[in-house]
Structures are given as C-alpha cells and as structure tokens.
Amino acid sequence: MIYPQSKLLKSLPKQFFASLVAKVNKQISDGHDVINLGQGNPDQPTATHIVKALQVAAENPNNHKYSPFQGFASLKEAAATFYKREYNVDINPEKEVAILFGGKAGLVEIPQCLLNPGEHVLVPDPGYPDYWSGVALAQAEMITMPLKEENHFLPDYTALSDSDLEKAKLMFLNYPNNPTGAIANAEFFEDTVALAKEHEICVVHDFAYGAIGFNGHKPISFLETEGAKDVGIEIYTLSKTYNMAGWRVGFAVGNESVISALNLLQDHLYVSLFGAVQEAAVAALTDSQSCVRELNALYESRRNVFIGGLQELGWNVEAPEGSFFAWLKVPNGYTSEQFSDLLLEKAHIAVAPGIGFGNWGEGYVRVGLLTSEARLQEAVERISKLQIFS
C-alpha cells in the first residue's frame, strides 16, 4: 500500500541541487575525475582540541542520559562569552540564547515560531534555499528582496513597496552572504534596525560565515548595531567557524521573546542535544581561537589562487569579501544551468548554477573554495582548455 503525502509536504520547495548531485555522480560513475566545487561542505577536519574534548566528554557517564531540554547552562554561557569577546555584545545566557540542532534547524524553525498561515516574510534573492523551506512549513508567503551587484549584493530597502513593508512580519538576512560572498557594513545594519522598528519586522540574521572575512576585514555582527536586540536575533553555527559540520550544534542569540519562542518549539521537537557535543562546543567557543584564524587564512589563500587564475584567463570575476564561496558571472550566451552543465561535461568541474538560489541568481554560478589549492589550480587549467575566454 502507498500512503499519500500530506499537502504540507507537497508544498515544500523542490530540492534543486538533488539534480546537480545526480549529474556529478553520473560523471564519477563514468570514470571521470570530478573537481567538485558545487558543494558547501567544509573539507578540513575539526581541530584536535575540540575532538579531544568530545572524546573525554563521551566517556563521562553523566552524558549517557538526556541532557536538559534547552541545553547546558555552560554552553549558553560560552555563547555569551564568545559574543562579548568577538563583538563586544552583551548577551544574557539565561534569556537571550537558544541552543540549536545546527543553524539550519533554527532558520527553518523561526517562521513556524512567529508566523501564522498567509503572513509574509522578506527573503533575499539569491539566498539560502532552506529559508524557503521554513516559510513553506509555516504556510507563509515570501516577498523577495533582489540582491544586485550594483548594490554590492545588499537588498535595496527603498525598492520595497509600502504594501510589502506593512505586510512583512519577518526578514531573513545573511552576511557574509551565501551565495554571493558579499559582506554588510555598519550603515546597512543601522538602516535595517530603523526599518525593522518602523514596520515592526523581526530580523533574523544568518551569521553562518561570520568568522570568514578577507583583506583584513572581520565580518561584523548584526547585534553590534544599537537596537538590534530589540528587533531580532542572530543565528550562529559552529559548522563553518570550527569545521564542525555534521556535529549539528549552533545557537541563536538576541531578542528574548524570539529566543523564548524557539525554545518552546524545540521542546516539542527534540529531547536534547548529546551532552558530549555540547561540551565540545564549549571548548570550541572558549579555548584558543588559533584554528579559526588559520582556517580563515587558508580560505583567503585559496580565494586568491582561484580568482587570480580565472582573471588571468580573461574571465571577468570579482573576489568574494567573505564566506568560502565565490559568485561568478557566466559568459554571454549561457544560462547558469547551461554553463554549469558545460563545465561538468567538458571539464569535469562541478559548480552550482545560480538559478538554484532564486530568480536573481540567474547569470551566475557559485563555487565553493573547499578543496586544495592544487585542485583549484587544476580547475583553472581545465577551464582554460575550453578556450571560452580567449
């Protein structure tokens, strides 16, 4: 017997990148050496001291049971310590921190916490597709905010209609940005706070790539802005900063009412995060940050090698200012998917077509700087042989 899926499941956005994975796997199964730059999965191991903290904690019988539903106080205190040290932001660990089962979980949960069916959300386009998933699960409606090169891939609030601003209850932002690699400045966040206060919009800043900034510029936190905690939260994951992808640990910080809503929903969804993972997260946030600085330098070096190589070919591309992604204009005459297919089939290089991130992603491909410099140099050489830019 086959049981039909619910209307809610059928309303979820289609997973665009499943088709990319299938194409890549087909090339690999045919015996080709694929340089996969289409993914967002960190390629470096977790720092040794964090792994050791997990090992020790896993052997502790106190962690062989359910931990408190809303997480260890020690992890909430570590998150507050982290924000004070890195951004000089005061966080109340008891009321302004929610432990998350990875940053993605929080991003998908937020619309369900704050929105009723039919209410509206401002979403960046291009943007992280899981924002759409959370909106669909809340049975809410999206209002897209185009991210254009001429505006440094920041949304232009003056282009939003009065009607859309009045309807919007929630706004997603993400800087350093996936997929564009753009960063935000203090003035933009000040404008965001002012807009949110005027129109009573809750701002959710996805700070997944907060540790990754280039040219000596450290990305700023939304919560550094005066009044930011009055109008929103920031979601931080340990996946990128500490190479803890797959450990499923992150946290939200900021507005007390939003944090309370997140905690309430998670009380119904989960029991608790494994205590040993929480103890390892404390070690990551509070011990030496040298591994973070080394990782940032690694990504910057990869960026320089890859972007510099492409520019030498004559490809008019810009270097990202943050994140571990590069956002590259496709040559004239191709859609983003056509060009992605060309690179995969003729050069055996996988990149993510920009259309997968929204309508305004058309005309670009996203590249992940998540392989060695040698492989990035090889990718440049393979592209050169296509003679597209000569």
| Distance set, CA 225 to CA 80, 141, 245, 289, 356 (Å) | 16, 28, 28, 24, 32
> Residue 110 and residue 174: Cα distance in Å, rounded?
15
Six-digit token pair at 206? Answer: 């996805």
Residue 389: band (very low, low, confident or very high) from pLDDT cuts 50, 70, 90: confident
- Of 175, 219, 215, 171, the C-alpha closest to 195 is 171
Residue 14's pLDDT is what?
Answer: 82
Q: 18 pLDDT band (50/70/90 cuts)?
A: confident
pLDDT at residue 272 in the model:
84
> pLDDT, tens digit, for every residue of 213-244?
999 999 999 999 999 999 999 999 999 999 99
Considering only CA atoms, which of 198, 282, 264, 192 is closest in space to residue 228? Answer: 192
> How many other C-beta atoms are found inside a 10 Å radius of the C-beta of residue 270?
14
168-173 and 202-206 as β-strands: parallel, antiparallel, unpaired?
Answer: parallel
Tell me the CA distances in angstroms from 198 to 166, 183, 228, 254, 302, one per residue in order.
9, 24, 13, 19, 42
Taking only the tens place, the pLDDT of each residue in 151-166 is 999 999 999 999 999 9
**Contact of 244 with 45, CB cutoff 8 Å:** no
Question: What is the reported pLDDT for 295?
Answer: 96
Please measure the distance between the N-terminal and C-terminal CA atoms of the chain and give it in whole angstroms.
Answer: 58
Over residues 113-137, the pLDDT tens digits come to: 999 999 999 999 999 999 999 999 9
Q: What average pLDDT does this structure show over 57-71?
A: 93
**Prior bond to 129 cis, omega within 30?**
no
Mean pLDDT calculated for residue range 46-59: 97
- Confidence (pLDDT) at 24: 87
Q: What is the pLDDT of residue 276?
A: 96
Taking residues 62-89, what's their average pLDDT? 95
Q: Which amino acid is at 352?
A: A
pLDDT top residue among 64 and 271: 64
Are 245 and 41 in contact by the 8 Å Cβ rule? The answer is yes
Residue 57: pLDDT over 80: yes
Which residue shows structure tokens 């050791």? Answer: 52
Question: What 8-state DSSP symbol labels residue 139?
Answer: T
pLDDT tens digits, one per residue of 315-341: 999 999 999 999 999 999 999 999 999
- Distance, C-alpha 31 to centroid of its chain: 32
Report CA 254 to chain centroid distance, whole Å.
18
* Residue 97 DSSP SS3: strand
Residues 204, 223: contact at Cβ < 8 Å?
no
Given 3.40.640.10, 3.40.630.20, 1.10.287.130, 2.40.30.10, which CATH number is that of 48-286?
A: 3.40.640.10
Residue 17: its pLDDT value, please?
Answer: 78
Q: What percent of the chain has pLDDT over 90?
A: 90
Can you give the pLDDT at residue 216? 92
pLDDT at residue 194, rounded to an integer = 98
The residues spanned by each domain of the chain are 7-45+291-385, 48-286
pLDDT in tens, 183-203: 999 999 999 999 999 999 999
CA dihedral over 249, 252, 256, 262, signed as positive or negative: negative
Query: Is domain 7-45+291-385 given the CATH code 3.20.20.70 in the classification?
Result: no
pLDDT score for 40 = 86
Phi, psi of 213 (to 5 degrees): -135, 150
Q: Give the percent of the chain with pLDDT over 70.
A: 100
Residue-level pLDDT at 333: 92
Quick check: 321 and 217 in contact, CB under 8 A?
yes
Q: How far is 214 from 43, CA to CA, in rounded Å?
A: 19
Dihedral angle sign, alpha carbons of residues 361, 122, 369, 214: positive
Mean confidence (pLDDT) of the chain? 95
Average pLDDT (288-312) is 96
**Distance, CA of 312 to CA of 315 (rounded, Å):** 7
What's the pLDDT at 167? Answer: 96
Q: Which residues pair with 144 in a beta bridge?
A: 123
pTM: 0.96
- Per-residue pLDDT, 87: 97
